[in-house]
């Protein structure tokens, strides 16, 4: 059992349970899910610091001609990022996917992750993302092409199927294993479910029983207690956390502590949260520049301030703030008004 030596000190618990696939060893089996517009380099860096064993990059189109855009260039920017670097690609053409994987590996990707789980209409209407689950033959061709194109490990992210009446995650997982995929992450919803309703984990358990490669459970893992329950239900080798890390990147360390000790870690003091937020703001400005960084920071500040007295007013005023200095003053004033001791409200 791990005992914290101070009210909010995770130094004794640097990592969760190690996880291995291919030739890679992750120091923790807790993984940050790729989220478009969220998991940029500054956010990945924070989550890695707080215990994520892997932080998957925002997805890239397999059409490499689109990589010249400013948005794609930032998604391709891994400068100074601790490895392993996992680059996620999305597309429906085996040759294009193989080419994108090859180029990503040449640019320094340690892992290629294939997206067959995105439910967005703009992705699925191109027969990519979760839409691929309707064509298991094409799934096999894409996976074989990508695995054959690179020497780095290739992983796969899927949903449980296209619709509740069309769950085929077990078959897709077997196809993936046969193609040489090294690990598979399964979101406990179908494409038709979007993000509504509750994730179900029994299909993930069936996938775990169907294959020998590591299986990572994803969907609605928003607390240490839920993390333990999902591991117990699914028998999964790891957990992938997405929306619950927004505004709380230290959730990885909290989960690792709970799984290790059986006890909840203390809530972080508000002054500590303020300092993490201000550092995050600074890194966003440095990465994006002042104009875009201020605008991207708004959503992150909103997530951090949930449950904070004065948080609603802070978010309202943030929409009018146009400089990092204004944002910083608003943050400091809001936290000062709320006090610096004690955790955030639930």
CA distances from 165 to 198, 201, 234, 236, 310 (A): 16, 16, 21, 23, 45
Render the burial of 6-25: b for 16+ CB within 10 Å, e for the rest.
Answer: eeeebeebebbbebebbebe
139 and 132 Cβ atoms separated by less than 8 Å: yes
Each residue's pLDDT tens digit, 220-274? 999 999 999 999 999 999 999 999 999 999 999 999 999 999 999 998 988 999 9
Residue pair 116/129 in contact by the 8 Å Cβ criterion: yes
Ranges for all domains in the chain classified under CATH 3.20.20.70: 19-261
The pLDDT of residue 65 is: 79
Whole-model pTM: value is: 0.91
Average pLDDT over every residue of 163-169: 93
Question: How far is 304 from 261, CA to CA, in rounded Å?
Answer: 26
> DSSP labels for 137-184?
HHHHHHHHHHHHH-SS-EEEEEESBSSTT-B-HHHHHHHHHHHT--EE
Identify the pLDDT of residue 344.
Answer: 45
Mean pLDDT calculated for residue range 188-203: 92
**In the structure encoding, which two tokens stand for residue 14, read together?**
């640097």
Q: Where in the chain is the domain with CATH 1.10.1200?
A: 270-338
Tokens 């927004």 belong to 246
For 270-338, give the CATH class. mainly alpha
What's the CATH number for 19-261? 3.20.20.70
Distance from C-alpha of 57 to C-alpha of 68, rounded to nearest angstrom: 17
Please report, to the nearest 10 degrees, the dihedral formed by the alpha carbons of residues 50, 39, 304, 346 taken in order.
-70
Residue 346 pLDDT grade (very low, low, confident, very high; cuts 50, 70, 90): very low
Q: Which of 47, 57, 118, 334 is catalytic?
A: 118
Note if 47 is an active site residue: no
Beta bridge partners of 116: 158
pLDDT band, residue 15 (cuts 50/70/90): low
pLDDT tens digits along 126-157 = 777 889 999 999 999 999 999 999 999 999 99
Does residue 339 carry a pLDDT above 80? no
Question: Any bridge partners for residue 253, and if so which?
Answer: none
**Residue pLDDT, tens place only, 43-81:** 999 999 999 999 999 999 888 877 877 788 888 878 878
Q: What is the mean pLDDT of the chain?
A: 89
Beta strand extents in 219-294 (DSSP E only)? 238-241
- Band of residue 343 on the pLDDT scale cut at 50, 70, 90: very low
Angle at 176 between CA 170 and CA 178, to 5 degrees: 105
């Amino acid at each position: 059992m791990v005992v914290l030596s101070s009210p909010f000190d995770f130094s004794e618990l640097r990592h969760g349970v190690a996880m291995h696939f291919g030739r890679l060893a992750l120091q923790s089996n807790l993984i940050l899910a790729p989220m478009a517009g969220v998991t940029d380099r500054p956010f990945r860096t924070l989550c890695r610091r707080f215990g994520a064993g892997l932080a998957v990059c925002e997805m890239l189109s397999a059409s490499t001609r689109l990589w010249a855009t400013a948005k794609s260039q930032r998604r391709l920017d891994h400068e100074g990022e601790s490895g392993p670097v996992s680059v996620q690609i999305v597309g429906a053409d085996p040759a294009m996917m193989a080419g994108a994987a090859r180029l990503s590996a040449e640019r320094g990707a340690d892992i290629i992750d294939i997206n067959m789980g995105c439910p967005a209409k703009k992705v699925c209407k191109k027969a990519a993302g979760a839409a691929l689950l309707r064509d298991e033959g094409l799934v096999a061709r894409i996976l074989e092409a990508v695995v054959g194109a690179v020497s780095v490990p290739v992983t796969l992210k899927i949903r449980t199927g296209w619709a509740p009446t069309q769950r085929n995650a077990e078959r897709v997982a077997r196809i993936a294993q046969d193609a040489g995929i090294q690990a598979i992450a399964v979101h406990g919803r179908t494409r038709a479910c979007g993000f509504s309703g509750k994730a179900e984990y029994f299909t993930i358990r069936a996938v775990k029983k169907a294959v020998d490669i590591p299986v990572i459970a994803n969907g609605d893992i928003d607390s240490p207690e839920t993390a333990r329950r999902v591991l117990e239900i699914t028998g999964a080798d790891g957990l992938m956390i997405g929306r619950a890390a927004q505004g709380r990147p230290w959730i990885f360390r909290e989960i690792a502590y709970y799984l290790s000790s059986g006890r909840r870690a203390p809530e972080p003091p508000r002054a500590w949260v303020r300092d993490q937020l201000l550092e995050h703001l600074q890194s966003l400005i440095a990465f994006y520049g002042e104009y875009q960084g201020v605008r991207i920071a708004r959503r992150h500040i909103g997530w951090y301030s949930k449950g904070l007295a004065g948080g609603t007013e802070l978010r309202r005023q943030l929409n009018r703030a146009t400089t990092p200095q204004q944002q910083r003053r608003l943050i400091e004033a809001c936290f000062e008004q709320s006090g610096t001791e004690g955790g955030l409200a639930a």
